[in-house]
Amino acid sequence: MSESYAEIAFQMIAFLFAISVHESAHAWTASRCGDPTARMLGRVSLNPIKHIDPIGTVLLPLVAAISHIPLLGWAKPCPVDPRNFSNPVRDDILTSVAGPVSNFIVATGALILLWIISLTSMTGHLLVHAVGSGIGGLSGSILDPAVLLIYELMIINIVLAVFNLIPVPPLDGSHVIRHFMSGSVRSVYDSIGIFGLLALVYLGGNLLSSLIRPFIIFYRSMMVAF
């Protein structure tokens, strides 16, 4: 498998795992807060089939990977009924931020795995530092696929976490600030949100990059800290 095809395959695997973790975290937190809707539908699961949206999970990420543009997409929305929450505002916020938080946890776990690989052998050390410095690739080592897959897992979870924290409906970040709006403002905010999301995805490339890049730079700098 060539480096390009390997990278696309690893990105797709990492993306499917990242959205599965993200949606499972939403469903699990909602269940803990009193709403069993998603849990009863089998959404507390790392099985990506439970979360796949044909366009957002398959088509768009595949096109992005092939086109070498930042891999963005979405999963099938996690069904939540706030009427089941004991504290609707608090529990809605907790359920919403659980997804991005879970992605940061996975990204940090991937970083720790890369540290372990770096510390256990000279080959691993050189490969992790090369990838973290942006000059890595397939070198013929048996560690190549492991390092590249873990690296893609780290990066994609960072992207997914930061993207979903942007306060544009229906992204997770919007569920935090909408509760501080008056009823009329919130209604307008919710109704026009999808247009803001489309504008953000298709016209806000520089904005998205400026929001996500600092987190990627931080994690990549931590990769080569040891």
* pLDDT band (50, 70, 90) for residue 1: very low
- Average pLDDT, integer, range 97-110: 97
pTM, to two decimals = 0.89
Whole-number average pLDDT of the chain: 87
Residue 137: the pLDDT is 58
Q: Is the pLDDT of residue 5 over 80?
A: no
User: pLDDT digits over 149-158, tens only?
Assistant: 999 999 999 9
225 burial via Cβ count (<10 Å: 0-12, 13-18, 19+): exposed
Upper half-sphere CA count for residue 212 (Cβ side, 13 Å): 22
Q: Is the pLDDT of residue 2 over 70?
A: no
- Percentage of residues in the chain having pLDDT higher than 70: 91
Active site residue 23: yes
Q: Exposure string (b/e) for 185-210, b if CB count within 10 Å is 16 or more?
A: ebeebeeebeebbeebbeebeeebee
Instruction: Provide the residue ranges of all domains of the chain, joining segments of one domain with +.
Output: 3-223
Residue 33: the pLDDT is 96
Residue 69: the pLDDT is 66
User: 3, 7, 23, 152: which is the annotated catalytic residue?
Assistant: 23
Q: Is the pLDDT of residue 138 over 60?
A: no
Specify the DSSP class assigned to residue 54.
Answer: I
User: pLDDT digits over 36-69, tens only?
Assistant: 999 999 999 999 999 998 888 888 787 777 776 6
User: pLDDT digits over 64-80, tens only?
Assistant: 777 766 677 778 889 99
Residue 187: the pLDDT is 82
Using CA atoms, how far residue 186 sits from 88, 171, 207, in Å, is 15, 14, 24
